[in-house]
Chain A
């Protein structure tokens, strides 16, 4: 008997059930088809300005910066100003890197031609990574990134500064609403290779219980809201 069969056999005997029980399989299939939400807190059911205000306040409370950039065309300029504000423009010219996301590629980077724009996965020397989020979640101040070729996952963790662009209309109240957007993009039970929920710069409290921002991941998180 394989280890698999032995383990599943023990599980079934503990539960007092038999393999291949159609009724139980149907219960599970129904659960997958319905994927019911359990209990969504009221704070996740807000709309309009209140929803956005909560998104922003929670992210700021989690030591992230939130910038409302206006239209997509204004994003490169907004990023340039942000890099200036954190001192990335002193000394050698700044560089940022992003993947092959079409929304990012379509932005007018020539407006900020003094910034070195690179593409691909993060490399050890990179200081600034840029990703485009699939969604934002107001209830906890969270960005959802469907990482892959378009938005390489390493860009969110290796550089000291991570910038996430998010379209205002994709900022939703709850995790459940964000999952609807994931299903919209990847279908049924489809998933990107990595789905990241990100809610601030990296942090640790492992030394004497004191919170330090900037553990292994980015020291800074900047959220650029488009639209």
Chain B
């Protein structure tokens, strides 16, 4: 997928001024927030489950090599063909080769963020294959020539009216004046159009929410049922999964499933969770004849040995973006690559490099909501802070920003000097702002005061107030 992360600031600015986008975003991620909270409240063990989820993912990552080998062995025993891909390019060519030897012309696809990460569709299409996204949101994006703006609700940035216009524009074989007023009518039309594709596709490609080492199974978790049609109707099923998706046992899957849907949409569980183990067996009347799994590294093995290891616990629920004030304001496209929101702010620099991804860990207020809701308790703000340090250490920031940070670091490392300077600054600003209690403009802080006032200090620093408070309290 094309990388636009360096343009985050421009993209965010235009997103804020896009009335259509703002209307689509209005309330939607917020609705998911309320639904998650309600689901959490219905399950008293929810917070303890988060600890359990974190621990079991940590245990699995610490043994990742063993579980990957075990997964491969069990999947192979069940008749799967397991492929290993070091890079996105390797994965693309492996998948294209499978499609070619399966004689594919039409490829049906279930929703997969990994396929976005490796730019799969464009690669297959360049070789003359027709690729059809079957998740409704992904299908809408495909006919618009767009990419997902959310990892579980890919078309969250679009309004119903936009979808209606797209369907009228592309489904030209249907009657021109048909009724498309209710969401159900739009869904019905997509169902009808895509059913044809499911039945004709020679190859079905899905992602995997998880892989299970114990049984060699791939797992998809969906509500629409499109992934199941994709993988059971085509003659060949290809699963594309990154190496961090491995769980040890089916019991571990149970724990993770208890967290996933509740965190994502506030459902007790999704409509479907499907464990696939190998191809069609003797006597079976349906299911794929060929079953391939492509295990993708693309930087994750190295991530495992870095201070960002914890991000590999992610189960892609999207709760962090739903709860992120920055994501809610600008939407997912502004982030400029596959993974938006707080998880994207940590994962993207790891996958495409801090040189291109530096804007994203800076696009956070560090309010901490993402970490507070993450079902895997990934310390997202802390990891973003590591990236900010890495960016500083790499020396890419503009000179002025670097000098300011250096000056600040110098001062902050000298407590006595710092207190004097702060006392002076607080007193001076307090005196200057006493009449109005705020500043509409401040030297060196134009970026702040252009959009909002700066509250005037009361005249004393927090440290001074704290000392007085401590003295006032009886020992």
| A and B from one complex | yes
Binding site for B on A (CB under 8 A): 2-4, 6-8, 10-17, 19, 24-25, 27-28, 31-32, 35-39, 41-43, 58, 62, 99, 120-122, 124, 139-142, 147-149, 152-154, 156-158, 174-176, 179, 182, 189-210, 212, 214-218
A28 touches B248 (CB 8 A): yes
Binding site for A on B (CB under 8 A): 24, 28, 31, 43-45, 48-49, 52, 56, 62-70, 72, 74, 78, 84-86, 90, 134-137, 140, 153-156, 158-160, 163, 183-184, 186-188, 191, 194-195, 198-199, 213-217, 223-226, 228-229, 232-233, 243, 248-255, 257-258, 265, 268-281, 283-287, 295, 297, 301-306, 309
B156 touches A209 (CB 8 A): yes
Apart from A10-B301, A157-B229, A218-B225, what 8 extra A-B contacts exist at CB < 8 Å? A14-B305, A28-B67, A32-B70, A35-B249, A38-B252, A175-B257, A209-B28, A217-B226
- Most chain-B Cβ atoms within 10 A of its Cβ — which of A2, A7, A32? A7
Chain B residues near A11 (CB-CB < 8 A): 64-65, 68, 243, 301, 304
B251 touches A216 (CB 8 A): no
Q: How far is the CA of A31 from the CA of B62 in the complex (A)?
A: 14
Q: Given A11-B64, A27-B63, check contact A207 B163 (CB 8 Å).
A: yes
Selected contact of A10 from candidates B45, B62, B156, B302, CB within 8 Å:
B302
Selected contact of B233 from candidates A154, A189, A196, CB within 8 Å:
A154
Q: How far is the CA of A83 from the CA of B308 in the complex (A)?
A: 55
Selected contact of B278 from candidates A13, A25, A193, CB within 8 Å:
A193
A149 touches B285 (CB 8 A): yes
Q: How far is the CA of A215 from the CA of B136 in the complex (A)?
A: 8
In the assembled complex, the CB of A56 is this many whole angstroms from the nearest CB of chain B, namely: 14
Q: How far is the CA of A31 from the CA of B70 in the complex (A)?
A: 12
Report the nearest B residue to A27, measured CB to CB.
Answer: B63
Q: How far is the CA of A16 from the CA of B65 in the complex (A)?
A: 11
A194 touches B276 (CB 8 A): yes
Chain B residues near A27 (CB-CB < 8 A): 63, 66
B271 touches A158 (CB 8 A): no
A215 touches B63 (CB 8 A): no
Q: Given A198-B272, A217-B224, check contact A42 B45 (CB 8 Å).
A: yes
Q: Given A4-B84, A32-B248, A216-B225, check contact A24 B63 (CB 8 Å).
A: yes
B277 touches A193 (CB 8 A): yes
A3 touches B214 (CB 8 A): no
Chain B residues near A195 (CB-CB < 8 A): 217, 274-275, 277
Listed by A's residue number, 5 A-B pairs whose Cβ atoms lie within 8 Å are: A10-B301, A189-B214, A194-B274, A215-B187, A216-B224
In the assembled complex, the CB of B218 is this many whole angstroms from the nearest CB of chain A, namely: 11
Q: Given A148-B284, A191-B277, check contact A217 B272 (CB 8 Å).
A: yes
In the assembled complex, the CB of A197 is this many whole angstroms from the nearest CB of chain B, namely: 4
B56 touches A28 (CB 8 A): no
A39 touches B45 (CB 8 A): yes
B225 touches A121 (CB 8 A): no
In the assembled complex, the CB of B327 is this many whole angstroms from the nearest CB of chain A, namely: 15
Q: How far is the CA of A189 from the CA of B250 in the complex (A)?
A: 9
B243 touches A7 (CB 8 A): yes
B228 touches A157 (CB 8 A): yes
Chain A residues near B304 (CB-CB < 8 A): 11, 14-15
